[in-house]
Amino acid sequence: MKYLFLLILLGLAGCVGQPASNSSPEARPVGGGDFRAQIHTDLAANYFLRAQHAVALQELAEAIKADSGYAPAYNMLGLVYAELREDQRAEVNFRHAIERSPQFSEAHNNFGQFLCQRKRMKEARPHFETALANPLYVSPEKALSNAGACSLEQGDLAAAEMYFTRAIQRAPNHASARLGVAEVQFRQDRWLGARAQLRQLTEQAEVSAQALWLGVRIERRLGDREAEANYGAQLRRRYPEAMQTQWLITGQYDQMGSLL
């Protein structure tokens, strides 16, 4: 019965999409670590996606009880505490994950994004670069896109475009990277290029409030009032509560927003 219960848990862990934070092979201890730690961490990831943070923390406590050296559990704790805005606890746990598995690319990527969101850009970039240097990292486009957003926030447009372009080369349908290139080109007054990138994005993925707001600003610069009005109407309809919609209503066209 014990083994049947573990198999059921494993099946549950695989049924729902979860953050890739627990799937990187370089994070696994020699021999695969404690199976129970992996199960509890995977379950915590599912609860995290459902915003059931208290239950996720309970599962992670069980994971660490089963294997105190299991790096993905600490990485997941960092994500949960970051979402709860408990920044000190988030940082401690990201660092624990990296200490236990120095080549754990997903932990470096998540910690880099965390630092960048807290305006600690100079500290963030080395973590993105460490993630990207690992040939075992299965999704480098995520770190590339996050590094691009961080560089954009710093005002380093050249670095931002380089990172976003590399992400698109790796994953052509990566929506945030495509939006990043469009944003960079808009800020460089390359409005036709920005329009082309944004149109390609809208053909590939569900558009975000930030993408629609960028569309409003691009078409306003190009003088296409009909296209501007179309983007504005979509923004009002799809995202009535978004800050970009409020900027539209109040005519604050100089507001750029953030991709972080």
Q: pLDDT by residue (tens digit) across 39-79?
A: 999 999 999 999 999 999 999 999 999 999 999 999 999 99
The secondary structure of residue 103, as a DSSP letter, is T
Asked whether residue 12 carries a pLDDT value surpassing 90, the answer given is no
CA distance 60 to 40: 6
How many whole angstroms separate alpha carbon 156 and alpha carbon 150?
Answer: 9
Q: Encoding tokens for residue 178?
A: 């495509």
Q: Residue 104 pLDDT more than 70?
A: yes
- Assess whether pLDDT exceeds 70 at residue 253: yes
In the structure, what pLDDT confidence band is assigned to residue 6 with cuts at 50, 70 and 90? Answer: very low
* pTM, rounded to two decimals: 0.84
Per the prediction, the chain carries an average pLDDT of 89
Domains in the chain, please, with CATH? 1-138 (1.25.40.10), 164-260 (1.25.40.10)
pLDDT band at 20 (very low <50, low <70, confident <90, very high): very low
Q: 44-68: string of b/e by CB count within 10 Å (b at 16+)?
A: bbbbbeeeebeebbebbebbbebbe
Q: Which pLDDT score is estimated for 140? A: 97
Cβ atoms 149, 114 nearer than 8 A: no
Measure Cα distances from 113 to 90, 164, 201, 229 in Å: 12, 15, 23, 34
Instruction: Please tell me the distance from the alpha carbon of residue 8 to that of residue 65, in angstroms, as a whole number.
Output: 21
| CA 131 to chain CA centroid, nearest Å | 14
- In this model, does residue 19 exceed pLDDT 80? no
What pLDDT digit, counting tens, does each position of 169-214 carry? 999 999 999 999 999 999 999 999 999 999 999 888 789 999 999 9
Give the pLDDT of residue 3.
33
Residue with tokens 């305006």: 119
